[in-house]
Structure 1
Amino acid sequence: MDKTRLLIVEDDNDIRALLVEFLTAEDYAVSTLASGRNIDDALRTEAPDLVILDIMLPGEDGFSICRRLRTKSDVPVLMLTAKRDDVDRIVGLEIGADDYLVKPFNPRELLARIRAILRRTADHVPDGAPGERHILSFSNILIDLDARSVRDADGMQIELTTAEFDLLACFAERPRRVLSRDQLLDWTRGRTHADPFDRTIDVTVSRLRARLAPYLPEGLEPITTVRNAGYLFALDVRKSTA
């Protein structure tokens, strides 16, 4: 079986060497870059399953690189930031990063984040007959859980990041039920003990609303905020197989 491929874009030689040694020992195939200069070539030749991307890079920074990646690729991105305030994290999530980690970090936590992202993006076939496709639909939007794709009634693809798809699937599988931020973090990102000031879910909900709005009837809002409780998917969801 082919090894899972990781691409690390990090300019600090010591951190880069540490991550290569650690992740290689965990049976990943690891390639590295010291800047974003050759990342387009690396994505084409290495075909990584996940990119670990530092924000502070010489030349083009991680934000710009992530923004470019999202215009042409759905490869998951885990961003590294040296800042402990929320600004870098929120900006990274808004431009399509799947997760973030603050330096300095424990390599075991990085490994847990990598595994959680890859687990969410792996092909998953729910229980049912072989070959069946499992579809959730609401209004004029269809979610194919097996293909991890979202389309409108005309078959037009609605582009979502990994984090956005995971959150939408989580809501659609639990309609008309108040879900707390901690529950949503646990189900979508594997964090059972969330920082009470972590705005990851809030940012992703905001992005998801904006992504879906052009495909929904005017004024229809599927995700509502429940004050001091969390969020609720307010539409009926139909389940089917194809």
Structure 2
Amino acid sequence: MKTTVFLLEDDLDITRLIVRTLSQQGIDTRSFRRISEFEREIKRQLPDLCLIDLSLPDGDGLSLVNGGGLPCSVPRIIVTGRGGLTDKVVGLEIGADDYIVKPFEPRELVARVRAVLRRSAKSATPAAAAKNELITFGDWSADFDGCTLTHRDGEVINLSSSEAALLGALVNSAGRVLSRSQLLDITSGRTGEPFDRSMDARISRLRRKLRDDPKAPSIIRTVYGAGYVFSIPVDTKAG
């Protein structure tokens, strides 16, 4: 089946470049200039991946990255001219699977799109979370098929596809230290760049969802100079 990408971009030149580049790779790309058009089509058909600009005529694309009717199973990549570190960290913190700054090389776009698609396919059902199984740890149970966390007190937390992939990687390696580069490779299909702190932002967001004290985390512990380790016992139960 052909891969379908939805592109939300109001710059016609950028739109033509992206559509042409992805079409040459056999990827069907549908473009939208407004959030309202994009949201209407999402209700009719789900793509395999979304490319989302931030500055749009009828709003900020961040609202889509952080939910906006997109199920957690649909990966999303921000493609924007906002190249500041703060913008990138915020974008990744709220659930983007990757962040591409304009102008970009077409080959880089293709590589990142394919990497996110590979990661999405791998994380659809993490190795330790087979069908009809729930992963439990501490006060939480994780449903990787549904991209949700459920606390013992009944609260249900939604996870983005990137958060589910990251938690799955940590859970599957519970008790073992994983470096930032290893986590980035597992969850995004690419290795870290110099001074790339995107994984720190993702870990921070996941800790908040797990109610893990950022000053003294007990679930996802930082091993300074080495990376992160999932520190509590994990149990797999049939759903």
- Contact in 2 for aligned 1:52/1:80 (Cα 8 Å): yes
Q: Which amino acid aligns with 1:238?
A: D
d(CA) in 1 for partners of 2:161, 2:131: 22
CA deviation after TM superposition for structure 1 residue 155, in Å: 7.4
Structure 1 gap ranges (5+) = none
d(CA) in 2 for partners of 1:93, 1:106: 21
d(CA) in 2 for partners of 1:106, 1:26: 15
CA deviation after TM superposition for structure 1 residue 174, in Å: 0.9
> Number of residues paired by the alignment?
234
What is aligned with 2:85?
86
d(CA) in 1 for partners of 2:229, 2:157: 21
- Contact in 2 for aligned 1:143/1:169 (Cα 8 Å): no
Cα–Cα, structure 1 residues 46 and 136, in superposed 2: closer, same or farther, change >3 Å?
closer
Q: Within 5 Å, give how 1:48-197 maps onto structure 2.
A: 48-69=47-68, 73-74=71-72, 75-122=74-121, 123-124=124-125, 126=127, 133-145=132-144, 148-152=147-151, 157-192=156-191, 194-197=192-195
- Contact in 1 for aligned 2:140/2:151 (Cα 8 Å): yes
What is aligned with 1:203?
201
- CA offsets 1:162-206 (integer angstroms, 9 cap, x no match): 1111111111111122221111111111122x1232121111111
d(CA) in 2 for partners of 1:230, 1:106: 31
Q: Which amino acid aligns with 1:221?
A: S
- CA offsets 1:133-169 (integer angstroms, 9 cap, x no match): 4543211323345555543457764311111111111
Cα–Cα, structure 1 residues 85 and 72, in superposed 2: closer, same or farther, change >3 Å?
closer
d(CA) in 1 for partners of 2:158, 2:70: 11
Deviates more, 1:57-66 or 1:145-154: 145-154
Cα–Cα, structure 1 residues 226 and 63, in superposed 2: closer, same or farther, change >3 Å?
same
Compute the TM-score of the two structures, normalised by the length of structure 2: 0.84
CA RMSD of aligned residues (A): 2.8
Q: Which amino acid aligns with 2:79?
A: L
Compute the TM-score of the two structures, normalised by the length of structure 1: 0.83
Cα–Cα, structure 1 residues 56 and 49, in superposed 2: closer, same or farther, change >3 Å?
same
- CA offsets 1:60-117 (integer angstroms, 9 cap, x no match): 1222343351x66323210012233211111112222221111122222222222222
Percent identity between the two aligned chains? 39
Deviates more, 1:59-68 or 1:89-98: 59-68
Cα–Cα, structure 1 residues 53 and 124, in superposed 2: closer, same or farther, change >3 Å?
same
- Contact in 2 for aligned 1:222/1:235 (Cα 8 Å): yes
CA deviation after TM superposition for structure 1 residue 17, in Å: 0.8
- Contact in 2 for aligned 1:80/1:100 (Cα 8 Å): yes
CA deviation after TM superposition for structure 1 residue 50, in Å: 1.5
Q: Which amino acid aligns with 1:188?
A: T
Out of 232, 235, 239, the residue aligned to residue 235 of structure 1 is 232
d(CA) in 2 for partners of 1:21, 1:201: 31
- Contact in 1 for aligned 2:147/2:160 (Cα 8 Å): no
> Secondary structure, in 3 states, of the residue corresponding to 1:73?
coil
